[in-house]
Amino acid sequence: MEDKKDILLSIENLNFSFDTQRGVVNAVRDLSITIRKGETLTLVGESGCGKSVTAHSINQLNPMPPGKVDSGAIMFRGKDLLKLKKGEIEKLRGTQISMIFQEPMTALNPVFTVGSQIADVFLTHQDISKEEAMKRTVELFKLVKIPAPERRVHAYPHQLSGGMRQRAMIAMALASPEPGLMIADEPTTALDVTIQAQILDLLNDLKKDVGMSILLITHDMGVVAEMADRVVVMYAGRKVEEADVFSIFESPKHPYTLGLLNSLPSNTKYKGAKRLEAITGTVPDMRTIGAGCPFENRCAYASEICGKEFPSETVLDESHSVWCHNYQKVEEV
């Protein structure tokens, strides 16, 4: 039984849709997840499965309209974030909930120096002078290991490399005076593997030093293995599997999770120049998606019931659940 005192954030039966000219897109459907204090939870799935929409719902960053919360609750430290007014949620952003956006080049304003943008977080939420805000920004640059921090704070985004821009985004997220939850939306996108490893090590170190929780969004299973304590696998707006990171890699039970793992390149698996395995088919149209399992049209284990109704939760053990009618047929990796 999970102790509620250990839960930092709880998303309860969230349904989020977008009203478009071509119809209603049900981006997130009946999603429930919890994030414990001091842990890293990763949301995994291919592009368009609802990961970023879920994360942006926490901070109310989805455009509304056309977006709309159809039902559900997001509880953070005893407050339902979906019921907060604009001024109330703005006080939480950057103080107790921070965010690393997916693309630092577009997230940072190109006409202001990087240091001034981070100092602005201090000035917005704390009663300090500009000099003190810039001093704290330099300290954050040192913390995230940006070289020559006193000089870099006066640089513009285009003058920094991709890795340094990502470190600057992490520094901005750490400007929070009451670190609680950091949302990292694919923080290693477009970075080479060496810089990616440095960013992941930095996030792990900061989690331990600052004592915060991390909601990490990714479609890279290598990043999951490096960072995650628990993993939620999403497909077409739904949660299809949830487990601790060890169980996900050692004993995946949903065909989609198995497909993600089988698509990973391996030096031993692909000796002899075999083709990389891929999941057949395409993601269903979210405007016309039916009541059944959304993965049914791509699943090698699908049966007649899969196209008729979405499976209920099957609890395999206290840390592993799956939403699949035929999970027992899935072979282990």
Residue type, 199: I
Instruction: Determine the Cα–Cα distance for residues 167 and 198; give it in Å rounded to an integer.
Output: 10
How far from 10 is each of 13, 119, 248, CA to CA, in Å?
10, 31, 21
Neighbouring C-beta atoms of residue 245, cutoff 10 Å: 18
- Asked if 189 and 139 count as a contact pair (C-beta separation under 8 A), the reply is no
At CA 138, angle to CA 135 and CA 144, rounded to 5?
A: 145
67 Cβ contact list (under 8 Å, min separation 6)? 16, 17, 18, 27, 53
Please name every residue paired with 25 in a beta bridge, in sequence order, or none if there are none. 18
The string of pLDDT tens digits covering residues 220-234 is 888 888 889 999 999
pLDDT of residue 46: 85
pLDDT of residue 290: 82
Closest Cα partner for 322 from 236, 268, 261, 255? Answer: 255
- Asked if 320 and 242 count as a contact pair (C-beta separation under 8 A), the reply is yes
pLDDT of residue 190: 64
pLDDT of residue 196: 77
- For the chain, where are the E strands, in sequence order? 7-20, 23-36, 40-44, 67-76, 79-80, 97-100, 181-185, 213-218, 230-235, 238-244, 314-317, 320-322
pLDDT of residue 166: 80
The string of pLDDT tens digits covering residues 246-292 is 999 999 999 999 988 888 776 565 566 567 778 888 888 888 888 88
| Domain 4-103+181-329 part of CATH 1.10.3210.10 | no
**How is residue 68 written in tokens?**
């709309």
What length does the chain have?
Answer: 333
118 Cβ contact list (under 8 Å, min separation 6)? 137, 140, 153, 168, 171, 172, 175
Residue ranges, the chain, pLDDT below 70 = 1-5, 104-105, 177-179, 190-191, 266-274, 331-333
pLDDT of residue 173: 78
pLDDT of residue 244: 94
